[in-house]
Amino acid sequence: MRVSAFEWDQANISKVEAHDLSPDDVESLFAFGDPVFRRHSQVPGRFIALGFVPDGRFALVVFAYNKKRRSVRPVTAYEPTDPSWRLRYDAVKES
């Protein structure tokens, strides 16, 4: 997935920061966090990125993607507590 820009406003910044992450963490995950992308299973038009933020934490980002502009609008981001997310990530990276 090619990303040229991120769309941030106070609403999505607040959601990310509420989970002890920052917009820089999210952008770094896409650029350097070795991400795995999946379609959101319950919300059409949404995607999930799994990867690592600069301090080494494993994170999940829910986002919308504008293919024409190649822009990402993060909806929320957090460290998943369900171990199945890390297992899914590892399974893709091992294949």
Q: For each of the chain's 95 residues, which pLDDT tens digit applies?
A: 889 999 999 999 999 999 999 999 999 999 998 999 999 888 888 999 999 999 999 999 999 999 999 999 999 999 999 999 999 999 999 98
Identify the pLDDT of residue 68.
94
Model's pTM, two decimal places? 0.94
Exposed, middle or buried by CB within 10 Å (0-12, 13-18, 19+), for 22? middle
The CA distances from residue 11 to 7, 15, 95, in Å, are 11, 6, 37
